[in-house]
Amino acid sequence: MSSDRLLVVGLGNPGPGYAANRHNIGFMAVDAIAEHHGLGPYRSRFQGEAAEGTVSGRKVLILKPMTYMNNSGRAVAAAARFYKIEPEDMIVFHDELDLAAGKMRIKNGGGHAGHNGLRSIHAYVGADYGRVRLGIGHPGDKDRVTGHVLQDFAKADRIWLEPMLDAIGREFPYLVRGDGGAFMSKVALAVNPPKPKRPKPEDSNPPENSDGV
C-alpha cells in the first residue's frame, strides 16, 4: 500500500429527496461504517462530506461526494490529491444492478459497467481502485432501470437491507486489513443466517422399565 490512509467512498446523490433511493446505498453503507467506528463528524470538504478516524490502526477517510452521481470523480480526485492517495488505497461502495438484492461482491479494477458514478471516477483517477458492489437487483427491462435506481427501497427490502448495512459497519475492519473474503463471508452470514436446526422428535414409545414398575 502506498498511503497510510484509506479513502472509502460511498456513491449517491445529495439531498433528502434521494436519501432512501436504491442508488444511494453507497451513502448508506459508509454512514454505517462511520457510525460503528465513531468516525466523524462529517464536514464539508472535497466537494463532498468527509469524516475521518482510525480503524484497525489505519487512518480512514470516509467521503460522500455531493457533486451528484455523474460527477463523483471530481470529489474523489480532490481528496486523493490532497492526501496523495493512490487508487489502490481507495474503496468505493456502490449500487449494483447485476447482483440480486442483498448480495455483495468485492472487485478490484476493471470496467465501470455503465455505472455513471464509476464512469466519472474512472475519468479522474483511473480504474485501479477497489469496489464493493451492493446488489439492488435488476427491474428486468433496461427501460425501467432509471426508475428502479431512483426509487426508494421498498418496505420489504428492510429484511435484507438493515442486516447488510449493520454488518458492513460492524465487519469493516476486515476490509481495512485487506481480508475481503472474510468481510464478504461475515456480511453474507448476517443477511442469510443459518436456519436453526429442528429438534429431533422424541421417541413416542419409550422403553419399558425393566422392573415392570
Is 209 inside any structural domain? Answer: no
Is 31 inside any structural domain? Answer: yes
Catalytic site residue from 23, 36, 37, 148: 23
Residue with more model confidence, 3 or 7: 7
CA–CA distance, 94 with 121 (Å, rounded to integer) = 12
Is 83 inside any structural domain? Answer: yes
Active site residue 37: no
Q: Which tens digit of pLDDT belongs to each residue from 42-51?
A: 999 999 999 9
Residue 150 CB partners (closer than 8 Å, separation 6+)? 18, 21, 22, 23
HEC-encoded secondary structure of the chain: CCCCEEEEEECCCCCCCCCCEHHHHHHHHHHHHHHHCCCCCCEEECCEEEEEEEECCEEEEEEEECCCHHHHHHHHHHHHHHHCCCHHHEEEEEEECCCCCCCEEEEECCCCCCCHHHHHHHHHHCCCCEEEEEECCCCCCHHHHHHHHCCECCHHHHHHHHHHHHHHHHHHHHHHCCCHHHHHHHHHHHHCCCCCCCCCCCCCCCCCCCCCC
Q: Is the pLDDT of residue 211 over 60?
A: no
Average pLDDT of the chain is 92
The pTM is what?
Answer: 0.89
Chain centroid offset of residue 85 CA: 20
Q: What integer is the mean pLDDT of 158-181?
A: 97
Is 174 inside any structural domain? Answer: yes
Q: Which pLDDT value is given to residue 202? A: 65
Q: Which domain holds residue 180?
A: 5-191
Split into its structural domains, the chain has a count of 1
Is 210 inside any structural domain? Answer: no
Q: Is the pLDDT of residue 209 over 70?
A: no
Residue with more model confidence, 135 or 199: 135
> Helix 158-176 and helix 25-36: axis angle, to 10°?
60
Q: Which pLDDT value is given to residue 213? A: 47
Q: Which pLDDT value is given to residue 208? A: 59
Q: Which pLDDT value is given to residue 164? A: 98
Is 67 inside any structural domain? Answer: yes
Q: What integer is the mean pLDDT of 27-45?
A: 97
Q: Is the pLDDT of residue 210 over 80?
A: no
Q: What integer is the mean pLDDT of 90-113?
A: 94
CATH classification of the domain holding 106: 3.40.50.1470
Is 197 inside any structural domain? Answer: no
Q: Which pLDDT value is given to residue 197? A: 78
Q: What integer is the mean pLDDT of 125-132?
A: 96
Is 137 inside any structural domain? Answer: yes
Q: Look-up: residue for cell 449493520?
A: 166
Q: How confident is the model at residue 207 (pLDDT cuts 50, 70, 90)?
A: low
Q: How confident is the model at residue 114 (pLDDT cuts 50, 70, 90)?
A: confident
Q: Which pLDDT value is given to residue 1? A: 45
